[in-house]
Amino acid sequence: MTTLPLDGGATPPHSTPLPEDVQLVQRLRDGDESAFELLLERYQTSMVNVALMYVRERAVAEDVVQETWVGVLQGLSRFEGRSSLKTWIFSILVNRAKTRAQREGRYVPISEFGNPDAESSEPAVSAERFNPGDHPRWPHHWTSAAMPRSWDEIPEEHLLSQETRDVIRRAIESLPPNQREVITLRDVQEWASDEVCNVLGISETNQRVLLHRARAKVRQALEQYLQRQD
């Protein structure tokens, strides 16, 4: 089953391979095992984490990663350098992870969401957090109760606690799939925006919108948690 791009087919930014990528691919084609060990060291852990965005069990994620490495080695002759080696590897991974998740009933193809740009009309922040347009002094400004709270006064050990990280993790897991993909790759895996666009097949504009909405929802969940701790 084919998964359509999140932005309805807009062309993502081009990702140019580095010279070291070209050399590494040639070493792999020549059967250099140390080149493959270098790739394993560089990407194995993050590949498992990315696969876990789509499948539930770690063992399944590791299986997907193994399948991906097989696909990478088998496809070396077809790698033309139109993208970075990292982008190419993770594109294979994401496609295989989505296929496995579809078999498990955990992933809904974007084509089944209807118009993939429909959520662009969704407000990033609930309208209830702002004053109405006829407010006598501060129309459309934050309400006093909903004003974003400064976290400067919160002890650092509280912000970095395991419980706080669990709140963030659950908030990310509850996001719509396309928002969860983008925020996980950008803020958890710390990918550059062009890498996210190329692997997920989305435009830079759509990536920014999805990331903004995801961050707003995660921040709101964190705000609510911190308020309960007061």
Q: Is position 115 within any domain?
A: no
Shared-domain flag, residues 98 and 146: no
Q: Which of 34, 91, 87, 49 is nearest to 68 (CA)?
A: 91
| 27-58: pLDDT as tens digits | 999 999 999 999 999 999 999 999 999 998 99
Q: Is position 167 within any domain?
A: yes
Shared-domain flag, residues 59 and 85: yes
181 phi and psi angles, rounded to 5 deg: -60, -50
| 121-155: pLDDT as tens digits | 555 555 555 556 665 655 545 455 555 555 555 55
Question: Final residue of a domain: which of 82, 110, 138?
Answer: 110
Question: Final residue of a domain: which of 62, 89, 110?
Answer: 110
Shared-domain flag, residues 94 and 35: yes
CA 217 – CA 193 distance, rounded (Å): 19
Task: Give the pLDDT of residue 75.
Answer: 92
Question: What's the mean per-residue pLDDT of the chain?
Answer: 78
Shared-domain flag, residues 151 and 103: no
Whichever domain contains 94, its CATH number is 1.10.1740.10
CA 128 – CA 82 distance, rounded (Å): 46
- DSSP string across 59-126: HHHHHHHHHHHHHHHHTGGG--SSS-HHHHHHHHHHHHHHHHHHHTT----GGGGS-TTGGGGS-SS-
33 phi and psi angles, rounded to 5 deg: -65, -30
8 A C-beta contact, residue 230 and residue 223: no
Burial class (CB in 10 A: 0-12, 13-18, 19+), 141: exposed
Shared-domain flag, residues 77 and 145: no
DSSP β-bridge partners for residue 130: 142
| 183-196: pLDDT as tens digits | 999 999 999 999 99
Shared-domain flag, residues 156 and 77: no
Q: Which of left, alpha, beta for 139 (phi over 0: left; psi -120 to 50: alpha)?
A: beta
Task: Give the pLDDT of residue 2.
Answer: 30
Shared-domain flag, residues 82 and 137: no
Domain count along the chain: 2
CA 160 – CA 164 distance, rounded (Å): 6
Shared-domain flag, residues 45 and 103: yes
| 55-98: pLDDT as tens digits | 989 999 999 999 999 999 999 988 887 788 999 999 999 999 99
Shared-domain flag, residues 64 and 42: yes
Q: Is position 5 within any domain?
A: no
Q: Which domain, by its residues, includes 142?
A: 122-228
Whichever domain contains 183, its CATH number is 1.10.10.10
| 209-230: pLDDT as tens digits | 999 999 989 988 888 877 776 5
At 5, the pLDDT band (50, 70, 90 cuts) reads very low
pTM: 0.72
Q: Is position 11 within any domain?
A: no
Question: Final residue of a domain: which of 76, 110, 144?
Answer: 110
CA 9 – CA 107 distance, rounded (Å): 19
8 A C-beta contact, residue 83 and residue 198: yes
